[in-house]
Chains A and B, each alone.
Chain A
């Protein structure tokens, strides 16, 4: 079931909301509400995948069962240590930071390694541990709704507490065996359903064999919920979270419908407390509504509209059987621009809806997007785009591989591996792997080339300024500011260009299509720079493109913030702003709901790009 559907909006959601809020809470327990959420989530999933719901529940059972087993083994291990009157095989938390520790059993505490993958500011590497842990999520949450600002910091503190509380003993062999078995089981469904045919195809191609393909339909959201279960098992093994003994609560975590199909990838550590204790407030619910409506608008009004343009343009370039065939530079550009905006509004809109729905049910999910299209480098882009996935790969793949702690060659290799896996996660195809490596290439260039150049220039300029007389220094400072502005502009253009180029690999069904798009882009297509059709569609979609281009920046949010500040001020116009704000929000919600409903009732074009992942 799609959030952006009549079925969800007008049948499923009202029924679930009403039932949820009339279910009693004996002694404040959320048991019945969680049970209702679980049942509702099963219905939600079964609506699209009636039989595959068993796979999802089976996976949840495996995750829960392996958690119990790991916990039992850990307790037994601790007990044995105590009985033998030996000091437990433990060590103070701080000692785990010593250099060279690479065991997978160790938690990912080495902050510089985190930063290497996703942070660019070297200053932060020097900060203290707890600060480092919270710095990034906090930064990413800034600028978002007030409700969401505090949570990441709280989560980071929780993580530290968990670590201090639960990290007591090193795992024994049995624990390691159970852990590996659990990981294999939890990955098996994903591997079978998503990757078997890819491997069979390649074996057939290499060995000229004729192994028959499984041709299995991909269970919805399997990439997302598998990763969530994995995060629980790994964190439990690393003793970062406590075990969840209640299967109902664990199944609720896995199946929770707001984030089940397309994320954000919510880690158990981030939601464990909310499963048993969460607040349902009027403001929280209202904020949830607002966020949900923002997401609906982004998805249905903008992403779907631009999706049509992307589809027309791509088929015009790559499909000779399409109604409109025109291999021109303008169409290639239109495709790349429209797809960039479509995928952003599509996915971030869905994340907004998920976060909004979570708020309506009392949950606070982490942010998943932070205006990625305003970034000035690929490194920054990935700190802002699909953050829950980026952090997942950072913490569960990159750090265990050794991050940047094993020398430059290994560091480069680790980055390549992580991004190849990231690409592969998006789809079982060489093009996705190529897309991941394409991203990795630019990350490496930024890390090892651009950063050094930038540092050298900065050093030279600061040296120049300090050498000169005050008046001359002032002129140089101004010039430096201009230079910085120019650099920011060029960096932004570079980012957009690289990201758009990357979609050629990402979105092309085969290499032939990718080549056709690239050829058209550089003006080598059959229709040169532009044709009648591309000019028509440029005119036709000009306004939606402009709306989307503004909408993907923080400008609208800044405007609202300014209004809020004005309303909270003591100026004589504050009342006017207050009244305006009071009227604007409900008007916005009503407009979004009515427009989205109109588009859903009348339109048939309603794809969701991340469903196939």
Chain B
């Protein structure tokens, strides 16, 4: 009400000034003063209008517009508003939960996130935002090694090895290997402050002595990774292997297998075809709120690969159920990378019928137990070409003490711990106490 009065007063003032300036006997300075006062009133009105428009507009739009059930680009559900009750009010739980809810429910959230990304990358000329960067290898997240966490993860791996050894006798010993998948920032020529292989090696000095380290950093190049996601592109690994390069699957096989296994793998890879599922935009464009051209989601196929027998462990029924190597339905879902082995699962067994059933001379009878994260999903089909059976174990979803219950470890087999730098930085995700 009072504002209206003020506005009215200001308008009157402006008109009066205008009238005054029309009078010829006023000097120039007086005219100038009046014009300035009038101008200021208009200026003030305009400023208030803009302020009210933006604050009021967004507030009303947030109140009136329907709320998104899922924040698609960020691949998460929006924060929920805590229940309004006395307990939540006195403990400030309601208030603490209000801001995240208000931010997630804010009208035009996506556009505003884009505005922030534009400001950070184009106006401030920065190359990273909230630990996410956009570099030569596309978008990524800095995964610099956190020393204490890294050591804890190594401790957990040692514990698993100790547990596996304790149930086997001397002649039944398994062969242990480990490999760290580096963050793709190391392939950026600008020395991004991400993963450091040298630091990892120094921290591993004197650790995991019963296991062989397989270096992967020099077996990868930046084009092996999706530009929009943290994972590697299975098709790219296969392409480079076809060209004779020592890529991740061949590197691993050279360390773990023999010449026969390596030859089998190369044979399958050389005859493999690449199937294109469609455009694939990984996790980073959404997290960065940047428009990054999508990658292609592709998978490697061949008669041998297609004949592989895949069974998934169903935690509900505690049984193994049949599945497929490539889940084309999952590729259309929220995380298209679930194309590979349908995403996360505690145990998956891949049998290579080409080796087991055909009775060919190149059947090795060797098995691989692959302790893995999501990178392993796209790697396992390639590794399975060189083994009779590959068992994928994801310790993020099964306690290591339960492994004996569901898996019969075959003496003389290979055990590979293949984790990305993200897992090494987050030891708590591994169910190893």
Contacts and interface: CB of A to CB of B under 8 A. Distances in A.
A84 interface: no
A578 B36 CA distance: 9
Given A24-B1, A532-B191, A570 B28 contact: yes
Interface residues of A, number: 69
Interface in A264-316: 280-283, 285-287, 289-290, 293, 301, 305
B173 to A, nearest CB: 35
Interface stretch (A158-166, A193-201, A498-506, A538-546): A538-546
Contact of A323 (B102, B113, B145): B145
Contact of B2 (A280, A590, A598): A280
A570 to B, nearest CB: 7
A7 interface: yes
A570 B148 contact: no
Contacts of A280: 2-3, 6
Contacts of A594: 54, 112, 115
A589 B1 contact: no
A603 B130 contact: yes
Interface stretch (A9-17, A236-244, A488-496): A9-17
A323 B54 contact: no
A289 B47 contact: yes
A225 B84 CA distance: 29
A10 B44 CA distance: 21
Contacts of A540: 126-128
A51 B86 CA distance: 12
Interface residues of B, number: 65
Interface string B133-155: 00000000010111110000000
Interface stretch (A42-50, A55-63, A513-521): A42-50
Given A10-B59, A570-B28, A598 B47 contact: no
B193 A593 contact: no
B148 A321 contact: yes
Interface string B152-163: 000000000000
Contacts of B7: 282
A322 interface: yes
A204 B72 CA distance: 54
A542 B127 CA distance: 11
A568 B36 contact: yes
Contacts of B148: 321
Contacts of B279: none
B240 interface: no
B40 A589 contact: no
B195 to A, nearest CB: 10
B47 A321 contact: no
Contact of B193 (A293, A532, A605): A532
A605 B147 CA distance: 24
A169 interface: no
Contacts of B40: 283
Contacts of B146: 321-323
Interface in B1-26: 1-3, 6-7, 9-10
Given A25-B2, A601-B112, A605-B130, A323 B89 contact: no
Give the one of A283, A293, A535, A605 with max B CB within 10 A.
A283
Contacts of B50: 586, 589-590, 593
Contacts of B54: 589-590, 593-594, 597
A324 B48 contact: no
Interface in B21-67: 28, 32, 36, 39-51, 54-56, 58-59, 62
B103 A323 contact: no
B263 interface: no
B275 interface: no
Interface string A576-613: 00100110011001100111011111111100000000
Contact of B144 (A324, A581, A595, A600): A324
Interface stretch (B90-98, B320-328, B330-338, B406-414): B90-98
B130 A604 contact: yes
A604 B62 CA distance: 20
B32 A50 contact: no
Per DSSP, are chain B's interface residues mostly helix, strand or loop, or mixed?
A: helix
Give the one of A24, A582, A586 with max B CB within 10 A.
A586
B191 A9 contact: no
A18 to B, nearest CB: 9
B116 interface: yes
Given A14-B56, A543-B126, A586-B47, A282 B9 contact: yes
B109 A601 contact: yes
Contacts of B89: 50
A241 B142 CA distance: 59
Contact of A290 (B32, B47, B126): B47
B165 interface: no
B125 interface: yes
A7 B99 contact: yes
A52 B32 CA distance: 54
Contacts of B398: none
A325 interface: yes
B48 A602 contact: no
A539 B95 CA distance: 38
A542 B123 CA distance: 12
A536 B133 CA distance: 12
A6 B191 contact: no
B214 to A, nearest CB: 25
B59 A323 contact: no
Nearest to B1: A22
Given A282-B10, A287-B44, A597-B112, 17 more contacts: A6-B99, A13-B55, A14-B55, A47-B92, A51-B90, A282-B48, A283-B41, A283-B44, A286-B47, A320-B147, A323-B142, A536-B191, A540-B128, A589-B47, A594-B54, A598-B113, A599-B116
26 contacts: A6-B102, A10-B62, A10-B106, A21-B2, A22-B1, A280-B2, A282-B9, A282-B44, A282-B48, A290-B47, A325-B147, A533-B193, A536-B190, A537-B193, A540-B126, A543-B124, A582-B39, A586-B46, A593-B51, A595-B119, A597-B112, A601-B106, A602-B112, A602-B113, A602-B116, A603-B116
Closest 6 CB pairs of A and B: A286-B44, A598-B116, A598-B112, A533-B193, A598-B115, A323-B144
Interface of B: 1-3, 6-7, 9-10, 28, 32, 36, 39-51, 54-56, 58-59, 62, 89-92, 95, 98-99, 102-103, 106, 109, 112-113, 115-117, 119, 123-128, 130, 142, 144-148, 190-193, 289, 425
